[in-house]
Amino acid sequence: MTTRSKQPARTAGDLLFPCALRKTKDFTFDPLKVDLVAEAADRVTELIVVQSSPWTGSDAQIRSLQDKVHTYVSFPLDGEMARRFPESVGRPWRIVINSLSGAPDARTQSVLDMLAVRLPRHGGSLLVRVN
């Protein structure tokens, strides 16, 4: 018989998802998960991508980052964010790349710059935080 540990249920008030970074040798992102949702001091809903692995600029890493950003854009646009977090309705939103491993490499930064230009068309913005 196998036993499974039960994690406590989360409520909409938690504004929290488990970290979903999938670590492989290419340090790719899991494009199917939203890592973290939070309300910033300026009342903007932040959809946070947690990046703790090195920026490699590999094709696989960039492709998975683009797919992850697409998932994050779909989250508010498809209404999923409003369903899970009704307090976010009517608030602006932004995608935050929270890098715990330094600044992105030049190739990845150029992709992020391109995405930052395109996001306002969908009602959001993009911010890179380097810790």
Angle among Cα 33, 112, 117 to the nearest 5 degrees reads 110
Q: Give which of 74, 78, 76, 68 is closest to 31, Cα–Cα.
A: 68
Per-residue pLDDT, averaged over 1-9, amounts to: 38
pLDDT, tens digit, 9 for 90 and up, residues 85-131: 999 999 999 999 999 999 999 999 999 999 999 999 999 999 999 98
pLDDT for position 114: 96
Q: Which of 34, 3, 42, 25 minimizes the C-alpha distance to 98?
A: 34
What pTM was computed for the model?
0.78
Q: How far apart are CA 36 and CA 127, in angstroms?
A: 14
Say what percent of the chain tops pLDDT 70.
80
Please provide residue 56's backbone torsions phi and psi, each rounded to the nearest 5 degrees.
-105, -25
